Amino acid sequence: MNNQEATFYSLQLRLVEGLPGNPGGQKVELIALPEGPGEPRLAHFDHWEGLAHRLSAVTSSTPFHLKATYRTMLAGLTASMIDRATGARQIFSLHQLKDLGLAS
């Protein structure tokens, strides 16, 4: 296993308005922050529903957690994906980032 595959990431999400090249409309920005050395990974999604579906496939997030995440973003705050049992940030592998469209 190479160093890149051993890197784990935490996720932060926020709503953004009018991304460069596509003004108008509300989109979801997802940033994967490495837990250690490495570069952040960034992706944009046109619709929250599509991203929420991917998140529920790779995390232990419940519909309630995803709804709370979305409401946090609607309030203008950045939302981190957390483990509902411990309150700690959820950690994602490179493989999970691929499933979310954040890595190739």
Q: Which amino acid is at 91?
A: I
| R_g of the chain computed on alpha carbons | 14
Comparing 6 with 71, the larger pLDDT belongs to: 71
pLDDT of residue 4 exceeding 60:
no
Contacts of 95 (CB under 8 A, 6+ apart): none
pLDDT digits (tens, 9 = 90+) for 8-45: 999 999 998 765 665 556 789 999 999 988 889 998 88
Break the chain into its structural domains and give their ranges: 9-100
Q: Quick check: 26 and 17 in contact, CB under 8 A?
A: yes
pLDDT digits (tens, 9 = 90+) for 39-85: 899 988 888 888 888 888 888 778 888 899 999 999 999 999 988 78
pTM: 0.78
